[in-house]
Amino acid sequence: MLWNALSRASSLGRGVGGRLAGASGRHTLVGSRRLVSQLVEPRQPEVVTDEIPGPQSKAALSRLGLLQDTRAVVFAGDYQKSVGNYIVDADGNCLLDLYCQIASIPVGYNNAALLKAAQSPEMALTLANRPALGVYPPKDWSATLEHAYMRVKPKGLDMVFTTAHGSDANELAYKAAFMHYAKTQRGGAEGFSTQELSSVMDNVPPGAPDVAILSFTAGFHGRTFGALSTTRSKAIHKLDIPAFRWPRAPFPQLRYPLDKYSEENAAEERRCIAETERILHDNPMPIAAVIVEPVQSEGGDRHASPQFFQALRSITKEHGVLMIVDEVQTGCGATGTFWAHEQWGLETPPDMVTFSKKMQTAGFYHTREMVPDQPYRNFNTWLGDPSRALMTSAIVDEVLGRGLVEQARDTG
């Protein structure tokens, strides 16, 4: 969590006078409206119940279980008392949070800058008047995009498509890839044939072509319908759901320590690249794009070298296949660069980079070539949410202003 770096980078919010455990302090209303956190981050966890979940969590989950499936729930959180690296549950247990809301908390609980952004007049306005951004964006939406997204844009990607969550970001990136592929097959010509327009309503070619996205063994790219067809991490995610017959390539299984197995690992990466290129060449269904994670997180904390990703970029370019980098887990500075793929030293940038989680919003960066040839094609009602973009602006302010990327790089 970047908050770990924030805690080290500043003494702000640290306990004084020998406080050892338990989040203390309170939230205060300044004037009549602004919420400011005066919580003090503890120096260590404190468990006050014999078991977790405790009785208060169990009672809350019993009530919730009447309305929603709670079988995956660990405990009920108390977010008025959670602070920094520490989450407090309904029973008052104060726990060091290494799970970080499924890797989505960027700068800790009850961060003062985020609370300030949440209480701003701009936030109130966007919450009361949520716009359909594809048809009636706010007059200052371009400025919001610049401040929230474009000042940290990946090199070479000058546009951003905003959306709701990580699965959604990948799903819409796939649509962009398919539309780009079809336009290329038409030789860049605009418009559609009568046969395309009629066949697509029956979900058959040529209007609904048989085209694939190539993903990697153990990769995770989400749970929506198209994204799930590229997810390869756990069977339980996919069981009983119809899937596209899309191929998968092997992801390197490196041996550790790296210096001891350097030759074996290099051979493993060459094997995976060779198999990937064979699939790109021989797969019976054309491949529009390859999607890859810089670190397979859900798939087991699996890494590959910059040389592997350089070779992957090279073969995608050679075969005219787009490269999508899924930075939903790794984006927003946690790896020591704002985007993990910046460490690969690519000669040409990826075609798209998807993001969510720690950015507290979602979408994908892309080149202008990924814009469909007609409006309304990659589209939905909201196309993101200005209120989440305001939070992203505050997050990026904290990450850049406090030097958290550098702190993460230096401390690991």
3-state secondary structure of 171: helix
Please give the Cα distance from 89 to 110 (Å, whole number): 15
User: Which is the catalytic residue, given 28, 184, 381, 411?
Assistant: 381
Please give the Cα distance from 134 to 375 (Å, whole number): 9
DSSP letter string over 62-79?
Answer: HHHTTTS--TT----B-T
DSSP letter string over 127-155?
Answer: HHT---TTTS--TTHHHHHHHHTGGGPPT
H or E element at residue 288: strand 287-292
User: Which is the catalytic residue, given 78, 91, 97, 326?
Assistant: 326
Question: Does residue 230 carry a catalytic annotation?
Answer: no
Q: Is 33 exposed, middle or buried (0-12, 13-18, 19+ CB in 10 A)?
A: exposed
User: Which is the catalytic residue, given 357, 361, 385, 392?
Assistant: 357
User: Which is the catalytic residue, given 178, 216, 220, 308?
Assistant: 220
> Could you tell me if 349 and 154 are in contact, meaning their C-beta atoms sit under 8 angstroms apart?
yes
Question: Does residue 337 carry a catalytic annotation?
Answer: no
H or E element at residue 249: strand 248-249
> Could you tell me if 83 and 19 are in contact, meaning their C-beta atoms sit under 8 angstroms apart?
no
H or E element at residue 226: helix 225-228
The single-letter code of the amino acid at 398 is E
Question: Does residue 89 carry a catalytic annotation?
Answer: no
Please give the Cα distance from 178 to 161 (Å, whole number): 16
Please give the Cα distance from 117 to 123 (Å, whole number): 7
3-state secondary structure of 4: helix
At 115, list the tokens. Answer: 């609370």
Question: Does residue 326 carry a catalytic annotation?
Answer: yes
Please give the Cα distance from 336 to 2 (Å, whole number): 10
**Residues known to be catalytic:** 220, 326, 357, 381
